[in-house]
Structures are given as structure tokens and as C-alpha cells.
Structure 1
């Protein structure tokens, strides 16, 4: 690595800040998560349905997610749904009828803790059903279940917005300070998943979220700008 890039990395190291992202959906989830680690996810319910308050939220748990432990909320108590093998398949929070508001005025947070699958560079989808209840007692259901289209541009259909996107959580690989070597088995379109890294190298191509470092990459001889990562690519990432 050239001296100019080394100097830039040293300067960027003191400014590196990890930023958690959330899916851009009406029901969002905090992330990203790290492969094989325990993650506490917060699901945010931004609004109700056509002016009616949210009454119930059911979050489906994707395969591979284990050790699910929900938190009771001021919204309501959490109830687990399990399959015949005893695996948690969904978590349901229901607001007491007496607490349902006459209008859609509140934002709600619902949290659960779970073990993340050891599947870095993949996306977990949590299809969610939101039920609202009007002041007259009429219930409306909205399914946030679309797992196609744009969910942070990490999936194969990046660029096509999902109509009713399911909350999604991108899985990052485990890392340690310094250089980390990974083999990426998924197609990564959006390199913003490395925004907390100092630099990413794949062969002769490099990427950095730091503007000064990225500028050096574009002018460095025999160095290409890394814009996406193809399956089977070996990369080096410095954190």
C-alpha cells in the first residue's frame, strides 16, 4: 500500500464512527448485526393505518435466528409463537384495548434479542403484520412482507423499490481491530456496509467511505475503484 494511502488511513482511524442503519420501511429494524453474535433489535412502528392507532404487531422470525427473547413494551406484552419443534416462528405484541388511542398519534418501539446466523453478507427479513384499530373498533391489517426490491441495496434486485418492504437486517462479518480477511459468498452492491471501515481491498481495487482516502484511491497508480463485490471474492478490510 502506498505512503499517501497509509497517511490517509492513519488520519481516518481517529475519525471512524460506526453508524447503525435501519430498513427504510414503515416498520423498521435497527442494525446491522454481526454474524454468529447476539443482537438486540428494535422494531420501530412509525405510524398507524389511515389515522387509526396501531393495536397489534406480529414479527415473523426468519429461519436460522435462534435464542429469541422478546422484551415487554409499554405498547403491550410479547407472546411467542412456536412450531412443532419448539422453534420461535413469530413474536406478537398486543396493546390492551383500553390503551388503544382514538387516533394515530404515537411512535412505538418493540425490541427482541436473538442469536444471528453465521451468514455474513446476507440479509435477514422479518415479515411483519401491523393491525390497527379505529375509535369505532374497526380493525385494519397491513402486511409488511415484501422481500424483493430495494432494502438498502444489498440484495440482487437493488434499485427497484419494494412496495411493502419487510423490515430487513444486514449481517456483517465478525471483525477485530486492524486487518480482517474475508471471502464474500454473496453479491454486495452497496459498499456502505463498510462505512465504519478505514479501507476495503479486493485485488487491485479499493474502497473507503472516507472522502480523502477515496480520492487517493482514484488517483493511485495501478489501483481501481471498488464499486461492488462478486460472490467468491477474497477481500481485506481494515477497521
Structure 2
């Protein structure tokens, strides 16, 4: 790690990270490797004007210890495989509580132990069922996991994108040293860091700090991290 100048840290601040890429997204903030934590899924819209009636969230491989929370929407019902592992959680609204139109935002929460796979993306394919005022049901499958290095969907993709979390490594306040084994081309995953160093290159989510990095002699702006790179991150 190149010795950073004290000027850079004089203006460095911590920012919070929140990602919302789809109509169904994970809104509970950063997710950490090898940690049990709550994940909240936000359903912002129904289907073509119809109210959301049922939501099924599928649990990806590597995620264990799933404990869902009941909500005002309905009780959580789990499905398991032959080994007893929870493979999905479903919330269904009582038919009498279905609204005549799409007017509400819903949130669903479960606790889960995330795998020890930092700098990877976990997708949670989700099936959303809606019911119109006349009882007609329609379904949207948020199951597409096709993205590029920046979590952008390729042009021409028509399937609905699955909600996901980007798994960050465990951290402590101050400096943290990591060896990154994955491509990281979207440095917004460090949105709650003060600064990131990789050799003589640095990145900060804080615009003022980033300007100082650009002016720092013999320092480049870090724009991507490749497998096998050793980095230092200050939180």
C-alpha cells in the first residue's frame, strides 16, 4: 500500500450504501460474508395495476440458517428439500385483504447466514403473483441473473431481474486488508468506505477525497479490481 497523505483523510467521510435496481430489490443495506443478518426485500409495484397477492423468494445455494419473519402481508411459509434445507419462503395475503388496485409498497424480511464468499453476488429469484379486483391472477418471475461486471443487464434482456445482494468481506473500523479473488468493476460496493488503496491506485466514494486522489503525485484513480489483487480499505 502506498503511504497515503494526511490531506486525503482530513476530508474523508463515511457514506451509506443502498442498492435498488429492480421493482423487487434488497433494501436492507450492505451484506457481509460469513455473517447471519436480516435481509429485507422491497416490492414496489404490483402487476399492471393489480395488487400483490403472493411473494415467493427462492434461497440460493450457500445461504443457510433461514428464519423468515411474518408480516402484516401474511405469515411466512417455508419449503424444504430432502435434507431439510429451506429452499424458498412464501408470503400469501388473505383473499379478503387483497386491495382493488396497486397502491401499496410491501416489505418482506428473513434472517439468513450468508456464505464466506466476499466480492460475489447472491441472487434471490422471486415469484410475484398479483390478483385483480375480479379475481384474475397474474405472475411476474423476477429470476434473471444475467449481468455484466457493473451489474448492468445486457441490451435485449427481456426477463425480469432477480433481486440480489453483493457480499462484502467482514470489516472492522479502521484499516482492513483483503485479497480480492473476484473481478470488481463497480466500485460503488465501497460506498461506505473512506478510501480504498491497491498499490499506487486509490478510490473514494467521497467526491472531495476523490479530487485529492486525482491531484496526488504518483497516484492513479482506482477504477477496477482484478482477481489476486491485494487491497487496503479504511472504514
Q: What range is the shorter-chain TM-score in?
A: over 0.9
Q: Which of 166, 171, 176 does residue 172 from structure 2 map onto?
A: 176
- The residue number in structure 2 matching 1:29 is 26
TM-score, normalising length from structure 2?
Answer: 0.93
SS at match of 2:144: coil
CA contact (8 A) 2:54 2:128 kept: yes
Q: Could you tell me whether the CA contact under 8 Å between 1:76 and 1:95 is conserved in 2?
A: yes
Task: Quote the Cα distance in structure 2 between the aligned partners of 1:147 and 1:64.
Answer: 16
Q: Where does structure 2 lack aligned partners over 5 or more consecutive residues?
A: none
Task: Please give the TM-score of this superposition, normalised by the length of structure 1.
Answer: 0.91
CA contact (8 A) 2:121 2:166 kept: yes
Kept in 1, the 8 Å contact 2:55–2:91? The answer is: yes
CA contact (8 A) 2:146 2:153 kept: no
Give runs of ≥4 in structure 1 deviating > 4 Å.
none
The Cα offsets for residues 98-150 of structure 1, whole Å up to 9 and x where unpaired, read as 11111111111111111111111101100000000111111101100010126
Alpha-carbon deviation of 1:40?
A: 0.7
Equivalent position of 1:233 in the other structure: 229
1:20-74 CA-partner distances (Å, limit 9, x unpaired): 3133111111232011112211111111111111110000000111110000010
Q: Deviations over 1:202-234 (max 9, x none)?
A: 111111112222112112221111000011111
Structure 2 counterpart SS, 1:113: strand
Matched position secondary structure for 1:22: coil
Say which of 144, 147, 155 aligns to 2:145.
147
Q: What is the distance in 2 between the residues matched to 1:62 and 1:54? A: 23
Aligned-pair Cα RMSD in Å: 1.6
> Partners of 2:208 and 2:196 in 1: how far apart?
14
Higher relative contact order (CA 8 A, sep 6+): 2
